[in-house]
Structure 1
Amino acid sequence: MMNALERRSTFALSSIFALRMLGLFMIIPVFAVEGQSYQYATPALIGLAVGVYGLSQAILQIPFSLWADRFSRKPLIVLGLLLFAIGGAIAAMSHTIYGVIIGRAIAGGGAVSAVVMALLADVTREEHRTKAMAVMGMSIGLSFVVAFSIGPWLTGLVGISGLFWVTAIMGILAIFTLFLVPKTTRHHRNFQQGYLRQLKQVLQMPDLNRLHVSIFSLHLLLTAMFIYVPSQLITYANIPLEKHGLVYLPLLLIGVFFSFPSIILAEKYRKMRGIFLMAIVGVILGLIVLTLGATSKYLLLLGLGLFFVAFNVMEALLPSWLSKAAPIQSKATAMGVNASAQFLGAFVGGTLGGQLLMLHNTSIGWSILTVIALVWFVISFGLKQPRYLSSIILRLPEANDQNTAENWTAELLDIHGIEEVVVMAEQKVAYVKLDKKIIDEEGRQRLSQLFGKQHVI
């Protein structure tokens, strides 16, 4: 069970994701129409205003994550949220489409998704990582449903400029939730290397690349589906656009209900690879149902339900697996590459979804998405079971000065099998992450001699 510190940190960092995503998602269902009111607006520029946010995110995730492996993560998150808020304010004050594009590009420049996930990995024990990531995934899904439900209504109250002001305010509010997250200092035995070498190391790891392909494919399919499916819900299920949130919310809850047992199996019984591949199969089955029965109301909802169950499982497993597979000293960098792949997937999915709408043939459209999912499964089949680390919590030495802390962590890291020590000085504790399969009896004895059982919480 997660301790109070982990629960508080998970809530705070999930709230940062939710607030950012809520502001972002509320724009999507209304801007194609409302954007026409801006001076110089054309369909191409309206599309650019929507897409430029994701492009900025994709470009800047890697630089932010490289910095996050060298410097404190919290100040970088604050910088990213300030850019998000400033960009929203610029878009809110703009009267031309060009001003909105500039504002959206600046807002996307706050590319700290990977940094937030890396910080969550720091402040949670290995055994509870997937649960924490699942909560974060649920917060994103919930913000998506809420945004699509209230975005049109809120726009009617405050207009499109007011909606941009709401996104700016949410960015500022997200900064305050960081006060709930403890300040951390990370220690590991690996030497610091150059930026390019660090990035090259991450890009040369086959399993990490398979995970990048997975997040790219998942968000490509998700974005394409949500461009493609609304018109089908209207045409074949007779559900008006303003009530689509009432469809997505129950499906999301069903997905969450089924995803938690899967997460427990993946972590407790070390079946992550099997559950991961089963989730991809779930995506494929959902798309096959949609291919065969998209014109049927009940088959349409069944296919969406299967997709949502698989999506929730994948959203929980992917960041957790990534944090296990990434080198300790390059955790944020690996997550940055992964986040870039996610935003590129959304960009490609949006473009593909628009092209599918032009086909006027639902079966062909869903068949194309099914083929993409099958290719994803083939690529992912080569994944190896991740390494499972364990965590123990130690109280800091009473003499808690910098020299004592450095000597303390150096002695710990000298024990074969201990991979990382994350120190939370204000809470007077540290998470020690170790591989139980590697640590030998001599290491256990040294650990007991150094700290004794009374230091373990």
Structure 2
Amino acid sequence: MSNATPVSEMRIVGSLALLYVFRMLGLFMVFPVMMLYGRDYIDQTPFLLGAALGIYGLTQAVFQIPLGLLSDIWGRKPVILLGLIIFALGSVVAAFADSVWGLMIGRALQGAGAIASAVLALVGDLTSEQNRTRAMAVIGASIGLSFAVAMFVGPMLAAAGGLSAIFWVASVLAGIGIVILWRVVPNPPAHSLRGAEGLAVPALFGRALKNRHLLRLNVAIFILHFVLTATFVAAPLVLEAAGKANDAHWHYYLPVMLLAFIAMVPFMYVAERKRKVRGVLLLSIAILMFSLFGLALGGGLSWQWLVGIFCFFTAFNLLEATLPSWLSKQAPAGSKGTAMGVYSTCQFLGASAGGFVGGYVVQHFGVTEVFMLAGASCLIWLIVAVFMQAPPYLKSLCVPQKKPISGPALMTKVTGVVECAWVAEQQLLYLKVNDSFEQQALDEYLK
């Protein structure tokens, strides 16, 4: 492949990552300010504000798999366009809202514009096999970047114009995203199958749901995003109680987030390069748990509380990056898209539950109890994670194949094939292979 092709592909990935950043900014910018500026809305209570913070996760969980499947029928770009339009509509509804109910409707519509599956499938359509891992890493990094940017942009916008200013900016970003989608992102090749592996396959849902290794990962991502949203129900109230101006909260969030990103790098190196992913996972969960208990017992804003927040974000960022990699390695052949679809659904349900439950606990008990509940959830997760086995390091392959293939026979004849699955609906053969696999042996067998 010439040097021009990877550059072109990465430019495409950069534009798709920008779509992700714009959308996630619109969702995340309210996290540090919802519980503070939401008090200006009619009928607000801490519980309803927590619900408004997390309800996007509920609608995202409902629509992200169906919209991904729809992209196989309508095409990737039309479905992404539809999602961006729905997201922009939700942002406008929330911007015009004067009651907490209008705020919740707008946030629900924002989540309903669930384009994640379609975007990842489009990345697969437009990138070659050798560049796909790097492309997915860029998309993943863009989500982390959008969260970090949201931590200081959100408070500044809210200080200037309230929550409505955030939602107006989100609608503008969605409009820019539509222009980028239509003018910059090329159409995928006709009848492309390369992105199909990233989509859920209805026939494989039962297989994914019964896999105990995947179930533990689903529990993990649910709890991780439960504690994230619940923490942002409580943390802004701690800063406010300490007398910190609302528009100055980003002074605390931004440095902590940046330092946390730096601190996670050596752990990521050990997890992936040294293949110590299980040990790093258990350590990260333990750090997350102790940081939350520390926030609960810290007695308000202090240097110990800031250390706790730093440890929280370090562990969160590390787990957010480690779990999808683990899932990719653990998913059976042909089930990666399905497993990721179920995993993402659990992630968004966790975010939704964190908002609802966190708001309820703040209203009826207090801020300390939110951190205690989140820490207890991590303790349950740690117990579950102790029984998780380190994933095997295998390469995934996807080959067009119209005729049924016997998995056991293929694995007997072709050295290095560890798993094999033929999906009739897609007419694709999915393989997981080790280092002894030779492509030529597979080609000869299929002939």
After TM superposition, the score normalised by the length of structure 1 is 0.75
Q: Does 1:186 align with 2:184?
A: no
| 1:3-22 equivalent positions in 2, closer than 5 A | 4=7, 7-22=10-25
CA distance in 2, matches of 1:76, 1:328: 27
1:215–1:116 CA distance, 2 compared to 1 (3 A) = farther
| Equivalent residues in 2 for 1:57-456, closer than 5 Å | 57-67=60-70, 72-92=75-95, 100-117=103-120, 119-120=122-123, 123=127, 129=133, 135-155=138-158, 157=160, 160-178=163-181, 179-180=184-185, 183=188, 185-186=192-193, 195=202, 197-235=203-241, 239-295=244-300, 297-357=302-362, 358-360=364-366, 362=368, 365-390=370-395, 416=414, 417=417, 435-437=433-435, 439=437, 443=441
Query: Aligned partners of 1:176, 1:104: CA distance in 2, in Å?
Result: 23
Which residue identity lines up with residue 139 of structure 1 in the other structure?
Answer: S
- Cα deviation for residue 218 of structure 1 reads 0.6
Q: Offset of 1:28 from its aligned partner?
A: 4.5
State the Cα deviation string for residues 128-187 of structure 1 (Å, max 9, x = none).
84x655554443344334334333433455565454332122123234445457836226
Percent sequence identity is: 36
For 1:213, the aligned partner's letter is: V
Q: Deviations for 1:90-135, whole angstroms, at most 9, x for unmatched residues?
A: 4445667655544433332112234434555674758984x65555
Which segments of 5 or more consecutive residues in structure 2 lack a partner in the other structure?
Answer: 422-429
Q: Distance in 1 between matches of 2:272 and 2:403?
A: 28
Q: Quick check: 1:324–1:386 contact (8 Å CA) kept in 2?
A: yes
Distance 1:20 1:66, change over 3 A: same
- Give the letter aligned to residue 235 of structure 2: V
SS state at 1:385 partner: coil
C-alpha root-mean-square deviation of aligned residues, in Å?
A: 4.3
In the alignment, residue 207 of structure 2 is paired with which amino acid? Answer: Q
Contact 2:201/2:338 (CA < 8 Å) preserved in 1? no
Give the match's secondary structure for 1:186.
Answer: coil
| Whole-angstrom distance in 2 between the partners of 1:188 and 1:90 | 33
Q: Are 2:59 and 1:53 equivalent residues in the alignment?
A: no
State the one-letter code of the partner of 1:276.
L
1:367 to partner: Cα distance: 3.4
Cα offset for 1:42? 4.8
Q: 1 CA distance for matches of 2:387 and 2:73?
A: 32
User: Which whole-Å deviations, capped at 9, do the CAs of 1:374-395 have from their partners, x for residues lacking one?
Assistant: 1101112222222333489xxx
Quickly say closer, same or farther: Cα 1:174–1:439, change in 2 above 3 A.
Answer: same
Cα distance change of structure 1 residues 177 and 33 upon mapping to structure 2, 3 Å threshold: same
CA gap of 1:134–1:336, structure 2 versus 1, over 3 A, is same
Q: Once the 2 structures are TM-superposed, how far is the Cα of residue 216 of structure 1 from its aligned partner?
A: 0.7
Pair 1:73–1:208, CA change in 2 (3 A):
farther
Letter in 2 for 1:208: L
Secondary structure, counterpart of 1:105 in structure 2: helix
Amino acid at match of 1:186: L
Moved more, 262-271 or 148-157: 148-157
Q: What SS does the aligned partner of 2:193 have?
A: strand
Give deviations 1:299-336, integer Å, cap 9, x for gaps: 11111111111111111122222233334544333222
Q: Following the alignment from structure 2 to structure 1, what is the Cα–Cα distance between the partners of residues 380 and 18? A: 34
CA distance in 1, matches of 2:60, 2:250: 26
